[in-house]
Amino acid sequence: MKKRVLSTMLAGAMALGLMACGSGAAPAGTAADTSAADTSAADDASAPAETAVTDWKPSGAVSLVLPAGAGGDTDLSARIFAQYAKEATGVDFVVVNANGASGSVAANQVLSAANDGMTVLYGHNLVNVARVAGITDYDYTAFTLGPTFAKNDAQGLYVSPEKYKSLDDFIKAAKENPGKLKACTEVGAYTYYELLKFEKVADIDLDLVDVGSNSDKVTAMLSGQVDMMPGAFVNTKDYIDAGQFLCVGIPTAERSALMPDIPTLKEQGIDLVFPDLDYSFYFPKDTDASVITWYENTVQAVLANKKCVEDLENMEIKPYYLSAADSEANDKAYLATFEEVAASVEK
């Protein structure tokens, strides 16, 4: 794959000083931290299905390994799951933040673990994007897929309202200053391809800056070191309310229920629809079906808890259940979409 040359990575230490405010707090009672296609299987994938019988149960605390840092959408949804899964099953889920290398640090940790259901990767599509980017030589097929727990369908593009008043304003500035405006991302990750596609469709040239995880992106924006940030609404809503961030568009087919006042990119003449973020469980290869069934039952039990659903929605995350089989089909479709996006930006 043709590679883009990115700007020098911003200082990682600044992320510690400017963590997202209200969005960064984990729900009380969660386990401790140790560190474009329509692919939906149903219109209402959050509806519980009939559970199956299994004799398997975790023998101790489960390590829930995240390809993300603390405080972002992946981390927050994982902690909500950990809290309510503990209530439903009595099993502890320890959230392990293993951010780095476009999710491959966490993925490799799980791939090398025993396939006994005690170590699980939780995240969204990063294993597929990393393979398309050439960072890894494997994708979702290297794992045994488990169920899907939640969805985030509002990956917007954010700017500082002190610099830009609209998407047109930003694009005009980018055309007048080719290669000068900075947009933060993580090379080979979900937002990397979102920005490459945005550049192509908008006919602009941005300076893509590799800063790392969601909290690092927020920090880069707050410090004024970048001009644009792609990201989930859960990571930005406090800053929008404070007048520090402005969402200039979302890459969805229709307006998001989370952000109904924000126009889509398509509405504004930018023909870009990008995949949602579906948070699924990935297990080491050849994990037994009885293990997967237990997790399917557990996810359904958790999503049947109205308080859990309320907590997810308060975090601007959508409850969204898919069985393991549907999750696998979903990842297959997402992989094809990312391959298509990668091929289109190379032309």
In a domain, 3, yes or no: no
Which residue has 């599509």 as its token pair? 125
| Total number of residues shown for the chain | 347
Low pLDDT (below 70) residues in the chain: 1-51, 154, 347
Domain boundary among 239, 268, 297: 268
222 and 308 both lie in a single domain: no
In a domain, 1, yes or no: no
pLDDT at 267: 96
327 and 255 both lie in a single domain: no
Residue 222's alpha-carbon distances to 164, 167, 195, 243, 281, in angstroms, are: 14, 19, 19, 11, 32
pLDDT at 50: 61
CATH number at residue 140: 3.40.190.150
Domain boundary among 220, 239, 268: 268
115 and 233 both lie in a single domain: no
Residue 16's alpha-carbon distances to 12, 20, 70, 312, in angstroms, are: 8, 10, 11, 25
Tokens of 239: 């800053």
In a domain, 116, yes or no: yes
42 and 147 both lie in a single domain: yes
DSSP string of 265-306, one letter each residue: TGGGT-------EEEEEEEETT--HHHHHHHHHHHHHHHT-H
In a domain, 323, yes or no: yes
CA 329 to chain centre: 18
123 and 106 both lie in a single domain: yes
How far apart CA 290 and CA 53 sit, in angstroms, is: 8
Mapping DSSP to helix (H, G, I), strand (E, B) and coil, where does residue 17 land? Answer: helix
Element spanning 106, H or E: helix 104-111
Please give the radius of gyration of the chain, using alpha carbons only, rounded to the nearest integer.
19
CB atoms within 10 A of CB 264: 19
Structural domain range at position 213: 155-268
47 and 139 both lie in a single domain: yes
222 and 250 both lie in a single domain: yes
57 and 112 both lie in a single domain: yes
In a domain, 293, yes or no: yes
168 and 113 both lie in a single domain: no
How far apart CA 185 and CA 196 sit, in angstroms, is: 10
Total domains in the chain come to: 2
- For 40, list phi and psi in degrees, rounded to 5: -70, 140
| Amino acid identity for residue 321 in this structure | Y
67 and 124 both lie in a single domain: yes
How far apart CA 160 and CA 272 sit, in angstroms, is: 22
Domain boundary among 224, 248, 268: 268
Decide if 113 contacts 119 (C-beta within 8 A).
yes
- DSSP conformation class of 36: -
In a domain, 22, yes or no: no
331 and 259 both lie in a single domain: no
Residue 203's alpha-carbon distances to 15, 291, 337, in angstroms, are: 31, 48, 21
In a domain, 9, yes or no: no
82-100 residue pLDDT tens = 999 999 999 999 999 998 7
Closest to 215 in 3D by CA, of 33, 3, 31: 33
CATH number at residue 230: 3.40.190.10
Could you tell me which residues come within 8 angstroms of residue 280 by beta carbon, excluding any fewer than 6 positions away? 122, 123, 124, 145, 146, 147, 148, 149, 322, 327, 330, 331
In a domain, 16, yes or no: no
